[in-house]
Amino acid sequence: MITPVLSPEVAAALADGTAIVALESTIFSNLGLPSPANAEALERCLSIIRSHGAVPAITAVIDGRARVGLSDSEHERILGAARKVAERDLALAIGERWPFGATTVSASLALAAAAGIRVFATGGIGGVHRGVELHGDVSADLPALARHSVVTVSAGAKSFLDLPRTLEMLETLGVPVIGHQCDEFPAFTVVSSGIRLSHRVDDLEVLARVVSARLDIGGGMLVCTPVPVAEAIDAEIMDAAIARALSEAERKGATGPAVTPIVLAEIAQETSGEAVRANLALAENNARLAAEIARRIS
């Protein structure tokens, strides 16, 4: 197992049993949100986690070292150009000493688990891509959710994915999916996908007991909470934007991990920035819920 370098704050929190929330760095890089929205996302996520009594732990590869927790002086480095680092890429990023590798969900889960952190917040997970029967494109996020004993808090999965098949794959992999304050699977910047969830838990104390039981058994869990309604995008507007964005990604010949940043950029443009505002709101909301859970199970 990889041994990440911990920041002094994260190391002290682990020793003291203080609540910690792991965060990916892709969303804060130029691959996740455009500037200056990425800097705003970083500030809002860090602030909300701290205000709820937890320590934020950003994961990244910096100067060839896997990191969990960054100092304030290092934040500027993760806001710029980056290469994505999925779990499978960690060895390459470390061995080739990449200046900055932005961790995806799968890499962040691997590093959080290695550090002993049990709660992770992201925006929306990856999943099964549309047209999977033709190209077999399934995000590494899904098996990572099953493999690592970390609870992930997200606003469901990215809207442009095949959401029914994503949920089916999570069930096949044995990952419990819990809706917090929702009966239907959230669709990232859209409140609901219309797909009914099997489990809903609104009481945070009960949710914490469920999370603790799952982590004791072993394996991960996905806790979903919708984007705040005031910042959510209308489903019909998003569907039209997704169709155009996927067409553009196909025109550019994008495949695999290259599809997501192209589609997100196109959706942001098609929705006149509404998608960016929704992304900021859901990232902050997910970080808040993750901190609430972490504080209760720490």
Catalytic residues: 24, 158
Dist. CA 67–CA 285, nearest whole Å = 24
Task: Name the nearest CA neighbour of 165 among 191, 192, 149, 185.
Answer: 185
Could you check whether the bond before residue 164 is cis, i.e. omega within 30 degrees of 0? no
Output the six-digit token pair for 101: 């590798």
> 85 pairs with which residues across the strands?
103
- Per-residue DSSP letters for 201-255? ---HHHHHHHHHHHHHH-S-EEEE-PPPGGGPPPHHHHHHHHHHHHHHHHHTT--
Distances (CA, A) of 19 to 116, 255, 283, 298: 11, 38, 19, 5
Q: Find out whether 133 and 95 touch, Cβ atoms under 8 Å.
A: no
Output the six-digit token pair for 36: 């200056």
229, burial (CB in 10 Å: exposed 0-12, middle 13-18, buried 19+): exposed
Q: Pairing mode, if any, of strands 100-103 and 83-85?
A: parallel
Output the six-digit token pair for 162: 């095949």
User: Within 10 Å of residue 187's Cβ, how many Cβ atoms?
Assistant: 29
Question: Is 178 in a helix, a strand, or coil?
Answer: strand
Q: Find out whether 149 and 118 touch, Cβ atoms under 8 Å.
A: yes
